[in-house]
Amino acid sequence: MAIDELMKGTVSSDNKALTTNDVYKKIVAEVKNMKKRNMKVSMMRIAVSADTEELLLTDEKFSNSSSTIGAELLREGVIGKIAGVPVKTNYLMDEDVEFVIYDKRFIQKYEIWKKEPSVEDIKDGKHIGSSALQGRQVGGLMVTNKLGVQIKKKNDLTDKVSIPSGETELYGKTVNDLASNLEVQSDGKVTGTLNYVTGYTGFNSTVVEEQSGNYFPFSLEVTGTNMTFKKNGEVSKENIPFEKNNVFRITSKTDKFEVLVDNESVITFDFSETKLKTATRSRNKK
């Protein structure tokens, strides 16, 4: 219940998965943001997932902080400090949650009456004419200020799909030729810009109409034997040999492409938030 309540805090806009190279730096940055909100270091705690703990344990700065932990913090389960804030593990968070920073002042305990107290007769056959004041009280945790809880989540699609590096060549065009600033959100929505490309014969050498337009490059992080593509619910390619890097031709912002690997759905791409560039027309000078 306590973890569910913490998830009502503020979610970071950074959804890129942490790595050994940036885990410590990113947590420090979030602590700095909390300080700007007037959160107190002495009242803050950092809860990290099992995966984040593993990354931190390979970080020299974090490992050195363990020697600064007092006996009281050790009894609390603290494994180290980052920017002066104690770090604890929590293995009950959802898989996409990497860490949570919270100010204890804004995580309040509460108690409420589940059943209001009232005088009830004791009907157990032993206490004739007796009564008692009975009721039921329950408690929990409540976030009283969302700014007092900062949540870092990773895009849970990072182990399924990714965008290739800009220099990657796909059928004769680089990713930089095709697009810029592409990101795939956890719900499959694609953000960024798809350039208008011409002369893309490597995409389709026989159909001229398909050699120009907007193209979406992506990499599959899963592996398999065969792939099936569906465009707007209709099969466009079925059981073709698996390839890691692929390109879709996007004709409208309403297009939705589903990718299946070995008959298992991996993702459905949604281009409603993608910028599609159009062909530029040259003007004749008079």
Compute φ and ψ for 220, nearest 5 degrees. Answer: -90, 125
- State the residue range of the domain holding 191: 161-276
**pLDDT average, residue stretch 248-273:** 96
Here the tokens at position 271 are: 């281009």
- Does residue 240 have a pLDDT over 90? yes
Residue 283 falls within a domain, yes or no? Answer: no
Residue 282 falls within a domain, yes or no? Answer: no
**Tens digits of per-residue pLDDT, 51-107?**
999 999 988 888 887 766 767 777 778 899 999 999 999 999 888 899 999 999 998
Q: What is the largest CA-CA distance in the chain?
A: 110
Tally of domains in the chain: 3
Q: Identify the top-confidence range among 122-131, 157-166, 178-187, 230-239.
A: 230-239
Same domain, 121 and 245: no
Residue 285 falls within a domain, yes or no? Answer: no
Same domain, 43 and 68: yes
- Does residue 138 have a pLDDT over 90? no
- Does residue 260 have a pLDDT over 90? yes
Same domain, 178 and 266: yes
Instruction: Give the pLDDT band of residue 281 (cuts 50, 70, 90).
Output: low
Instruction: Give the pLDDT band of residue 123 (cuts 50, 70, 90).
Output: confident
Q: How far, in Å, CA of 35 to CA of 86, rounded?
A: 15
Higher-confidence residue of 130 and 213: namely 213
Q: What is the pLDDT of residue 61?
A: 87
Upper half-sphere CA count for residue 74 (Cβ side, 13 Å): 7
Q: Which of 123, 153, 183 is the last residue of a domain?
A: 153
Q: What is the pLDDT of residue 13?
A: 81
Residue 235 falls within a domain, yes or no? Answer: yes
End-to-end CA distance of the chain: 73
Q: What is the pLDDT of residue 42?
A: 94
Q: Please tell me the pTM assigned to this model.
A: 0.56
The single-letter code of the amino acid at 155 is N
Which CATH number do you get for residue 90?
3.30.2320.10
Same domain, 84 and 123: no
Residue 41 falls within a domain, yes or no? Answer: yes
Same domain, 170 and 74: no
Compute φ and ψ for 5, nearest 5 degrees. Answer: -70, -40
Same domain, 47 and 149: yes
**Tens digits of per-residue pLDDT, 166-192?**
999 999 999 999 999 999 987 899 999
Residue 74 falls within a domain, yes or no? Answer: yes
Same domain, 8 and 134: no
Higher-confidence residue of 266 and 131: namely 266
Same domain, 133 and 48: no
The residues pairing with 270 across neighbouring beta strands, listed in sequence order, are: 189, 256
**pLDDT average, residue stretch 206-215:** 96
Residue 94 falls within a domain, yes or no? Answer: yes
Q: What is the pLDDT of residue 143?
A: 86
Residue 286 falls within a domain, yes or no? Answer: no
Q: How far, in Å, CA of 80 to CA of 86, rounded?
A: 6
Same domain, 124 and 76: no
Same domain, 72 and 133: no
90 with 49: CB under 8 angstroms? Answer: yes
Same domain, 78 and 148: yes
Q: How far, in Å, CA of 59 to CA of 274, rounded?
A: 37
Same domain, 120 and 145: no
